[in-house]
Amino acid sequence: MIPPGVYYGTMKSKTGSPTIEANTWEAFEREVLGAKVPVIVDFWAPWCAPCRMVAPEIDAIARAKGDAIRVVKVNVDKNRDAAYKYQIASIPTVALFQGGELLHSSIGAKPRRMLEADLKL
């Protein structure tokens, strides 16, 4: 069963924000490291309740930023390479990448304002 707030593939979520799945290293390189716009990466897992709690907050940020930002979801159980490379030890971890570099990150389920402050958006 797919938990509420979890979306698979490149599609629009129920809240209207685009979400992109990057569950292989190749997809991560293409969708995050190769992106021309800043990328919010949501490192999550389907069994993680706090991950589902933070998803609407990330969707709200994505809607507010529009095309100026991309949102990518990385299931850490499927894309262990990305989780290992960026030392993701706790989920949810929400990270901001730009120009292929990790700029800022936030650990734990937080409201939108705290996420924006942690990510310096």
Spatial distance between the Cα atoms of 113 and 61, rounded to a whole number of angstroms: 9
Catalytic one among 27, 51, 91, 96?
Answer: 51
| Residue 48 known to be catalytic | yes
Map out the domains of the chain as residue ranges.
Answer: 16-116
Task: Please give the model's pTM, rounded to 2 decimal places.
Answer: 0.84
**In the annotation, is 110 catalytic?**
no
Cα 43 from Cα 93, distance rounded (Å): 5
Q: What is the token pair recorded at 17?
A: 């924000």
Q: Does domain 16-116 have CATH number 3.30.1280.10?
A: no
Q: Which of 39, 40, 48, 95 is catalytic?
A: 48
Name the residue with higher pLDDT: 60 or 11: 60
**pLDDT value at residue 9:** 41
Q: DSSP assignment of 34-80, as one string?
A: T-SS-EEEEEE-TT-HHHHHHHHHHHHHHHHHGGG-EEEEEETTT-H
What pLDDT band is residue 16 in, cutting at 50, 70 and 90?
A: low
In angstroms, rounded to a whole number, what is the distance separating the alpha carbons of residues 99 and 116?
19
Over 70: is that where the pLDDT of 7 sits?
no
